[in-house]
């Protein structure tokens, strides 16, 4: 660790926890804005990625809270356009992921995160049980989790006609292996 380890006051900052968990040092970001410039959802975000980083660099509780409560961190698709292009090689999606976890842990997550989280969970359920994406299962799962029962329902017949919605899941061969994988990763966390 660098001279940062001298600073006990740093340990309760989000920046410190990010560095411990992901190895990403926020001081590496020099605020060029290339991440925000290329981000496909930055225009929807309340805090674009560079602003998230700027706030975290301060290490002040009020800024940490603003980041944890922001909606933008939930909109990040983890497409990695930002980190691919980042001149300082900062792994931004990794940081975003960690912050989302922290927001949930501290009960500070933005209200809109519920739907996004529901989708993530439904998606993972589908993978866990079928080994691949099972659209109908995913949609059903998501609707149950998010309670948006009627939203976009009218799209279903059209998609069915075009063969986009298989009624039965396609299963992979080694489903036990997949279960095993989940047990040793997500199950552990």
Tokens at 39, concatenated? 């981000």
Alpha-carbon 152 to chain mean position: 23
Q: Which stretch binds another protein (CB under 8 A): 49-57, 94-102, 125-133, 171-179?
A: 49-57
Nearest approach in angstroms of CB 95 to another protein is 16
Nearest approach in angstroms of CB 11 to another protein is 13
Q: Scanning the structure block, which residue is given the tokens 């976890």?
A: 101
Residue 4 vs 166, nearer CB to another protein: 4
Q: Are 56 and 26 in contact (CB under 8 A)?
A: yes
Nearest approach in angstroms of CB 189 to another protein is 30
Q: What is the 3-state secondary structure (H, E, C) of the chain?
A: CCHHHHCHHHHHCHHHHHHHHHCCCHHHCCCCCHHHHHCCCHHHCCCCHHHHHHHHHHCCHHHHHHHHCCCHHHHCCCCCHHHHHCCCCCCHHHHHHHHHHHHHHCCCCCCCHHHHHHHHHHHHHHHHHHCCCCHHHHHHHHHHHHCCCCCCCCHHHHHHHCCCCCCCCCCCCCHHHHHHHHHHCCCCC
Decide: is 6 part of the binding site for another protein (CB under 8 A). yes
Residues 55-84 contacting another protein, CB under 8 A: 55, 57-58
Residues 26-45 contacting another protein, CB under 8 A: 27-28, 30-31
Q: Which stretch binds another protein (CB under 8 A): 53-61, 79-87, 90-98, 118-126?
A: 53-61
Residue 5 vs 84, nearer CB to another protein: 5
Decide: is 185 part of the binding site for another protein (CB under 8 A). no
Decide: is 4 part of the binding site for another protein (CB under 8 A). yes
Nearest approach in angstroms of CB 7 to another protein is 7
Residue of 159, 90, 82, 147 lying closest to 117 (CA atoms): 147
Residue 86 vs 122, nearer CB to another protein: 86
Task: Tell me, by CB under 8 A, how many residues bind another protein.
Answer: 17
Which residues are at the interface with another protein (CB under 8 A)? 2-4, 6-8, 25, 27-28, 30-31, 50-51, 54-55, 57-58
């Amino acid at each position: 660790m660098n001279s940062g380890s001298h600073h006990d006051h740093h340990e309760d900052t989000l920046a410190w926890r990010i560095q411990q968990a992901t190895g990403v040092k926020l001081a590496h970001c020099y605020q060029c804005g290339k991440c925000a410039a290329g981000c496909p959802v930055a225009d929807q975000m309340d805090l674009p990625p560079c602003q998230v980083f700027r706030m975290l660099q301060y290490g002040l509780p009020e800024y940490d809270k603003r980041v944890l409560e922001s909606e933008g961190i939930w909109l990040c698709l983890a497409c990695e356009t930002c980190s691919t292009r980042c001149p300082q090689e900062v792994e931004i999606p990794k940081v975003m992921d960690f912050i989302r976890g922290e927001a949930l842990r501290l009960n500070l997550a933005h209200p809109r995160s519920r739907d996004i989280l529901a989708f993530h969970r439904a998606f993972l359920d589908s993978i866990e049980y079928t080994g691949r994406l099972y659209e109908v299962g995913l949609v059903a799962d998501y609707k149950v989790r998010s309670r948006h029962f009627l939203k976009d329902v009218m799209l279903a017949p059209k998609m069915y006609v075009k063969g986009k919605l298989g009624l039965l899941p396609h299963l992979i061969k080694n489903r036990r292996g997949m279960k095993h994988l989940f047990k040793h990763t997500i199950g552990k966390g």
